[in-house]
Structure 1
Amino acid sequence: MGECAMKSLWFIVIFIFLNGCNDRESTVTVHNANVELALHVSAQETIANSAEKFSKECMKNLGLCWYKIRRSANEKDLPSVTIQSADGKISFQHAIGVTVVVDDKIGKNIENIGVTLRALPDNSTHEENRNFIINLLKDIKVAGWQRFYLPEEPRISGSQAAKIDVPGEVLGHPVLNHPWLDPDYKIDIDHWLKSGPLYKWYFYHNDEYLSLMAWRRDSNDNPGKTGTYLITLGLRSEREFWLAGIVDKQDRANWKALLPKRIEEYHALRSALEKKARAAGIEIDETYQDPPINALRK
């Protein structure tokens, strides 16, 4: 997918969630509501039946509409968000932001969902925040989501974390799936602090892709001990996931035809990095296989 593209998307997410939308269409009237969301379903029906009111913002020249919920982290009655899939669901408490994206070029169904959660109170300890996020990761795995390695990155699990000395990279190559942050292994607080201020995890379930990202801001008075964390979740359809980072309009229209070549190039990068890792005594998780891509099925 490319590190620059993913970082750009992340900073866009931060900007959107921190700035929000100034022209709300309505005020919240339901306390402790549960917002039910799913991909591949009608956006209009979802919005109409929601326990919380959404605002709407469109860019007609792009054919894109954003439906949003914005709440203050200081409110007591924050909604929960339940994300449903074909064979299960997962719920998150204390949502302060929800964004549903609809692309008119492909229909009126939901293809992209973003959720921002209220984390622990400002200036909680880093250890408390780490444990809070670890519990979120556990909930995601229990709901059937599996760790996803980006196709260009080496399949190195947390079992090899002690062999990796630098955060954010493996043997000099930047990676988003860093072994220190393997959700199947509990990271110690020293490596946690070294991994920040941006933390990233990726999961897949059937033909859907989920990211959990946390951004850490250390406190001024005790930066090594306490801080404030912003947590966002991104859920994307297969199409939206593989379109990420493609800017050219024609390439976006032909993404399915171009995907096999892209995957081949990604895997060549992975193979080279894994060969280098093996030579350095780092084991590769051969049990992991990329999830099938429906767009490539004939």
Structure 2
Amino acid sequence: MKLKKTLPKNWLPSVLAAWFIVPMAIALWLIFGSDIKAGLFNLLEKKTVMHSNVVVEIGESGKDFAQKYKEIVDVNDRNPGSHFYRVNWSDGTLGTVIIKNGSSNLAVDSVLSVMGNSDDTYPTEGISGFSISMGLPPRNNVLHDDARLKFYALLQRIQEAGWKRWIDPSMPRLNGTEALRYQMSEIENGAGLLSLDPSYVPSLDIWMKIKDMTGWQFYLNDVYMNVQLMRDKKRMDPNLPGAYFLTLGLESKDSFQRSEQTFEDRQRWKELYPAVRTRQAEERLHSEEKLSNLGFKIDAKYQNPDE
């Protein structure tokens, strides 16, 4: 009687409902638990996917960049005065990087990792360099002719985003097949460093002969870009799939010009750099005269976009 008085009214239906609901909930979890858990993990993954698109911009504050993508950025401050910011999609997925430069935005996908760097010696410059590591899909299993077309489509998009071909001021001004012939030759020391013509699309046969670390260089709004190509040398049968690896480097104009000076003179780079360009112009003239005598056609109308 005492128990009955302490129980609320209509207690029996509530108890029966609980007896029914709890076993049903357990049964549903046992049957569909993996799907439910997968759904929860998918929700967590969606939070990560939000950061799979990373925007990089030369000059951005390193602290701001690290804070913006803190879930996927590792900061290395072990070297005094130097800071490195590594973005790594460690779960095996590939990221997308948007390269922002003024009003220009260029998206590149199949990105493996990104590394940025800043120097406390020049605190107002922010991040002065980025190195973007990427592949050509499908990863490690792309037909060579497909890789050729995908790579030159990338170079085309770079140009459409406003980037102009840049040739080292000490290098001869060569286009198309002329540039490739010189780049692959041993006519001069350093010939292999020539920036190739991004508007020239070679045949598959020639594509297969292009050397590793060949570069295509560009310039826009005080930023230099260098695209370099590498591939698995053990998978060079043109009839079978291969594996391609690209690095896309970005560097500020100030950092680039400083690199032309000795370490001791870098604080005075703005004063000293004009003399570097004078020397490079003389080297270009000498090289072009030599190549002209060998039958190469010089593009005398080309002018470096950073001049």
- TM-score where L is the length of structure 2: 0.76
Which 5+ residue runs of structure 2 have no aligned equivalent? 1-44
Letter in 2 for 1:122: N
Which 5+ residue runs of structure 1 have no aligned equivalent? 1-26, 294-298
Are residues 152 and 30 of structure 1, via their aligned partners in 2, closer, same or farther at CA, if it must alter by over 3 Å?
Answer: same
Post-superposition Cα deviations, 1:148-184, rounded to whole Å, max 9, x if no partner, equal 000110000115358x3x65347334324648x4111
Letter in 2 for 1:81: V
Letter in 2 for 1:126: H
Q: Helix, strand or coil for the counterpart of 1:212?
A: strand
Q: In the alignment, does 2:70 pair up with 1:43?
A: no
> 2:88 maps to what in 1?
70
Determine the C-alpha separation between the residues in 1 that align with 2:209 and 2:121. 42
Q: In the alignment, does 2:254 pair up with 1:239?
A: yes
Q: Helix, strand or coil for the counterpart of 2:276?
A: helix
Q: How does 1:186-225 map to 2 (within 5 A)?
A: 186-219=201-234, 222=237, 225=240
Offset at 1:28?
9.9
Are residues 167 and 267 of structure 1, via their aligned partners in 2, closer, same or farther at CA, if it must alter by over 3 Å?
Answer: closer
Indicate the percent of aligned positions where both proteins have the same amino acid: 26
TM-align CA RMSD: 2.6
Are residues 215 and 41 of structure 1, via their aligned partners in 2, closer, same or farther at CA, if it must alter by over 3 Å?
Answer: same
Letter in 1 for 2:219: Y
- TM-score where L is the length of structure 1: 0.78
Q: How does 1:1-298 map to 2 (within 5 A)?
A: 29-31=47-49, 33-50=52-69, 53-61=72-80, 63-72=81-90, 75-76=92-93, 78-107=94-123, 109-120=126-137, 121-158=139-176, 160=178, 164=181, 167-169=183-185, 171-176=187-192, 178=194, 181-219=196-234, 222=237, 225-244=240-259, 246=261, 248-292=262-306
Aligned length: 260
Are residues 81 and 269 of structure 1, via their aligned partners in 2, closer, same or farther at CA, if it must alter by over 3 Å?
Answer: same
Determine the C-alpha separation between the residues in 1 that align with 2:185 and 2:260. 20
Post-superposition Cα deviations, 1:217-252, rounded to whole Å, max 9, x if no partner, equal 133584775421111111110012223364x32122
More displaced 10-residue stretch of structure 1: 223-232 or 139-148: 223-232
CA contact (8 A) 1:167 1:194 kept: no
More displaced 10-residue stretch of structure 1: 137-146 or 273-282: 273-282
Are residues 219 and 227 of structure 1, via their aligned partners in 2, closer, same or farther at CA, if it must alter by over 3 Å?
Answer: farther
Offset at 1:138?
0.8
CA contact (8 A) 1:88 1:143 kept: yes
Offset at 1:214?
1.3
CA contact (8 A) 1:30 1:51 kept: no
Which protein has the larger Cα radius of gyration, Structure 1 or Structure 2?
2
Larger helix share, 1 or 2: 2
